[in-house]
A and B are shown apart, each in its own frame.
Chain A
Amino acid sequence: MERNQYLDMFIDESTEHLQALNDNILKLENTPEELSLVNEIFRSAHTLKGMAATMGYEDLANLTHHMENVLDGIRNRKFEADTRLIDVIFEAIDDLEAMVSDISGGGEGKRDVTRVQDKLAQIEKGELFEEAAVTVENVEASKEMYAFDDFELTVLAQSKEQGFNAFQLEVVLREDVILKAARVFMVFEVLEQIGEVIKCLPPVDQLEAENFDLSFTVTLVTKESEEEVEARIMKVSEIDKVLLSPVEEKEHPSQDESGIPESREQTDILSDQGHDPEDLNKPVSKEDKAAPAANKTIRVNIDRLDSLMNLFEELVIDRGRLEQISRDLKSSELTETVEHMTRISGDLQTIILNMRMVPVEQVFNRFPRMVRTLAKELNKKVNLEIIGAETELDRTVIDEIGDPLVHLLRNSLDHGIEEPEQRRKSGKTDTGQITLKAYHSGNHVFIEVADNGAGIDRDKVLEKAISREVISEESGAGLTDRQVYELLFSSGLSTADKISDISGRGVGLDVVKSKIESLGGNVSVNSRLNEGTVFSIQLPLTLSIISVMLVEVQKEVYAVPLSSIIETAIIKKEEIMSAHNQKVIDFRGSVVPLINLTDFFDVPASIEEDDHCSVIIVRKGEKMAALVVNSFIGQQEIVLKSLGEYLSGTFAISGATILGNGQVALIIDCNALIK
């Protein structure tokens, strides 16, 4: 089908627009007066509707259309953007999201949306919140005069900076005026000769239709003096009088709170003009047209980046060979060239890796919405703060990190933050605080989920762990606080007294932990009773390059991820003991099972055994195992490769890598070795 070609683009863009809708509606809830937000929301919805209609997704287009009508109502101050209304809009967005994800899954984007549509239609007719709407209108009518919107304020401010004066003129026509519209036209012509009209009330189209009494008000930006302006207007016939007053420069109350950098807000509003023909009576001054330089980006398929990476890795391997050759030949010219190439390919590597990095914002930006909904369900008051959303992570990590973070946030909301009443009792503010923070440190990215809630009750955790037989009573007594908190990550433990929909089913934290570990990271928790809890996730910057220990098993080379190694050791044969047919060693006081990789991997034996064995102690969570190898080669950064679809299920091998000599080495999956 023809539309397939555009489908990817459609899905990408609609997801972006839906996200923008979510973000802005959340903001709108906090600052209902901010009309620029409504404009932005309206624009997203409008574009979405257009795209959906073009692509032939009628349900999507219809629902968006209804939503748009309601938004239009908000924009024109017909309804107030209160919580109930916003709830309905969110409901609609949920449906839209479901449809888009259906489409991206290959579906037709069909969905029964009549319920939401009815609600929207009701709002449109003003039935749902009739009373509210009426009162709002009254209020609006009384303070009718001259609220400047953001755009107008910006223009005003800029004109002032450039030495223009801003006046508000009330032009009153004579009572016996015959051609009202003509006079108005003449006044405007005069005004436009000496300056620019920013706003007029009633709007131009109404003036032209003679749809006004005898006076109208205009805001003018000009370099002329007050008297000059007045004199010029009075030259138009049938004008009774002109009342001039300078416009006070008032800061828009919510401008600072909007959180959008000013320059961006300005461009958004500028581009907004195209969509609102009725607002064309606001001329755009030249200064405003100088939009900030656009952020130039292109979309690239991740496959292409992958193949670029592959090619580059090939280059790195050849570079290794060249270095070897130049060392052997000792030709200074060759050596210089190779060194130069090495430096350049180093830079190239950084760039290629950077291209695969995406800001963690992609994952974070769906959380405010989620937290809002959950908090409502739980009757808690929560403020979510996001710090460091611009922190970048490898694309592959980003794709995987969402679910664990959802778990942790839910956990904080459900177990961490107390109910408002409870919070007051403990002398805290009603509203709980959850902070989601991402930052770089060394070769890792840290993501923290912190709350200022009840904290973890050590005794409760311990009691639960003992009753669920996660640990024995004796070993429980000697644990440090931190060790007790670690118990939270074991399966089958949840300390919520009440089992709720959100968490408390005893699965969750253990899933989080195994997920994070499968990404090569780890997760820890710290807490203070009554002060709060911090979950901290440490993640590698990229999944495609990892640190490993290369070892030799007979003549084969294997790689063991450094993240699972505790230490390496050389032990004597007689230290190996046997328990239940399983060879074990005593490692720093604990009994560790021994796995001989030669036997385990059926490696053809070619090296004679001696009295010493080299072992690597690896761990999976708290459990350990000792792997017997023949020799250690050393630590190295390697590029992680998949074994390919055909061998994907291979036991205890998590992938492969290409060594400097061009050969493939297998990466051992320590998690599979330890049960």
Chain B
Amino acid sequence: MSESSLDDIKVIVFQLKDEEYGVEVEQVKSIERVQHITRVPSTPDFVEGVINLRGVVTPIIDLRKRFNIEGLDHSDTTRVIIVTVEKMDVGLVVDAANDVIDIPRSAVEPPPQVVGGLEAEYIRGVAKLEKRLLILLNLDKVLNSEEMDEMKEIEGQV
């Protein structure tokens, strides 16, 4: 890591409902507009399906559903953030992706017990920036859910 990033974290800021979230730039591969999503049967309901991302079939997760926020139809601002976690590429559907900002590490606080109803284990920390509050996501936890594990277990038995 270079020196500047020791003090700063560069994050992509996106919106879900009324709140702003952040994922580190290193984990983000690209940001896409919503295109046709093919539903995949017998998957948890937050798995929207798969898309054709320049020739690679990429799974898409609806973050609203993942965090149990009520659903919203896709609009002009809806974006798919393609993230790489443990060599898997996964797309996250978010309401809008507006910004890339540097936040000083010192501004990041450990997750409080309850933030906007979201279970704290998905959260790595909360960054306070002037008047904004940014929730930093722990993508490993977001993607490797119990539901997915269960699904794979069922597979194993079949």
Which A residues fall within an 8 A CB radius of B?
310-311, 313-314, 317, 556, 600-603, 641-647, 649-653, 656, 658, 662-666, 672
Contacts and interface: CB of A to CB of B under 8 A. Distances in A.
A644 to B, nearest CB: 5
Interface in B117-158: 143, 148, 151-152, 154-156, 158
Nearest to A642: B57
Contacts of A644: 50, 56-59, 88-90
Contacts of A651: 41-42, 154-155, 158
Contacts of A662: 35-36, 52
A646 B139 CA distance: 13
B30 interface: no
Contacts of B47: 647
A664 B57 contact: yes
A647 B59 contact: yes
A595 to B, nearest CB: 13
B33 to A, nearest CB: 13
B40 A647 contact: yes
A601, A646, A652 interface centre (most CB from chain B within 10 Å): A646
Nearest to A557: B38
Contacts of B55: 310-311, 313-314, 317, 658
A646 B59 contact: yes
Contacts of B38: 556, 656, 663-666
A663 B36 contact: yes
A310 B40 contact: no
A646 B42 CA distance: 14
A603 B39 CA distance: 9
Interface residues of B, number: 31
A369 B38 CA distance: 50
A556 B39 contact: yes
Given A602-B41, A647-B47, A651-B155, A656 B54 contact: no
A656 B57 contact: yes
Contacts of A603: 39, 41
B36 A645 contact: no
Contact of B152 (A311, A643, A649, A652): A649
Contact of A664 (B50, B90, B151, B156): B50
Contact of A643 (B54, B57, B87, B155): B57
A656 B57 CA distance: 7
Contact of B57 (A311, A314, A641, A652): A641
B68 interface: no
A-B CB proximity, top 3 nearest = A601-B41, A649-B155, A664-B38
Contacts of B51: 664
A658 B40 contact: no
A664 B40 CA distance: 10
Most chain A CB within 10 A, of B47, B49, B56, B143, is at B56
B43 interface: yes
Contacts of A656: 38, 50, 57
A650 B49 CA distance: 11
Contact of B88 (A601, A646, A658, A666): A646
A650 B40 contact: yes
A601 B42 contact: yes
A311 B56 CA distance: 9
A575 B47 CA distance: 37
A650 B57 contact: no
B73 to A, nearest CB: 15
B52 A663 contact: yes
B38 to A, nearest CB: 4
Given A662-B36, A663-B38, A643 B52 contact: no
Given A310-B56, A664-B57, A643 B40 contact: yes
Max chain A Cβ within 10 angstroms of own Cβ: one of B35, B52, B88, B152: B52
Contacts of B41: 600-603, 650-653, 666
22 contacts: A311-B55, A556-B39, A600-B41, A602-B41, A643-B59, A644-B89, A644-B90, A646-B59, A646-B148, A650-B40, A650-B43, A651-B155, A653-B40, A653-B42, A656-B38, A656-B50, A662-B36, A663-B38, A664-B36, A664-B52, A666-B50, A672-B158
Interface in B89-103: 89-90
Interface in B16-71: 35-36, 38-43, 47, 49-52, 54-59
A666 B49 CA distance: 10
B15 to A, nearest CB: 24
